[in-house]
Amino acid sequence: MKIAVDMDNTLFDDFGQRMRPGIRELLMDFKEDGHELVLWTSSTRERATRILAEHRVVGLFTACLYREDYDPANTGAPKDLRAIGADAIIDDDPKHVDFATATGKVGVLVTSYRGTALKPDDLAHVRLAFRPAKASWLRWLHDDRPR
């Protein structure tokens, strides 16, 4: 699955100084599960590349889309996953999550991270949304026996 991931208040705090607790491990798990990760941020290329490099997470993403790529006038354009062939988005902005679901994509809303403490299970629902199907579940789906 191709997953777009927001940057500001999703991966990092407002200032790009603190990384959301548990997000690096979550993204690494997604990559290990075979998901493709694309960064999609309303930050400028200059700001985003600096923050990604400082936190050493550039390598987690196969591509990056910045404000200049989809909303150069900063008008608040929606992140239209169809434009990049993505299946899902993880974002703290309900507008982008709602737009994704309205277009038949998966949208996962996270609490905005402002550098303060979050609940220990803050990302549990994100992990569940992209959990690989278990083999037993797949066998059940393809089982021709009457139920």
**DSSP codes joined into one string, 75-97:** S-----GGGTT-SEEEES-HHHH
In a domain, 14, yes or no: yes
Contact by Cβ (8 Å): 20, 113: yes
What pLDDT does residue 17 have? 95
What pLDDT does residue 119 have? 83
In a domain, 78, yes or no: yes
In a domain, 82, yes or no: yes
What pLDDT does residue 113 have? 96
Range of the domain at 99: 2-141
In a domain, 147, yes or no: no
State how far the Cα of 5 lies from the Cα of 88, in Å rounded to an integer: 9
pTM (2 decimals)? 0.87
CATH of the domain at 133: 3.40.50.1000
Is residue 139's pLDDT more than 90? no
Tokens representing 107 are 């949208």
In a domain, 15, yes or no: yes
* Residue corresponding to tokens 């991966």: 11
In a domain, 122, yes or no: yes
If we measure between CA atoms, which residue out of 45, 2, 6 comes closest to residue 23? 6
Model pLDDT for residues 11-61, shown as the tens digit of each residue: 999 999 999 999 999 999 999 999 999 999 999 999 999 999 999 999 999
State how far the Cα of 66 lies from the Cα of 58, in Å rounded to an integer: 13
In a domain, 83, yes or no: yes
* Residue corresponding to tokens 């993880």: 90
Number of domains in the chain: 1
Which of the pair, 122 or 94, is modelled with greater confidence? 94
State how far the Cα of 86 lies from the Cα of 147, in Å rounded to an integer: 35
pLDDT band of 134, cuts 50, 70, 90: low
What pLDDT does residue 147 have? 46
Tokens representing 55 are 């936190």
pLDDT band of 116, cuts 50, 70, 90: confident
- Edge-first strand listing for the sheet containing 36-40: 63-65, 36-40, 2-5, 88-91, 106-109
In a domain, 146, yes or no: no
Model pLDDT for residues 87-101, shown as the tens digit of each residue: 999 999 999 999 999
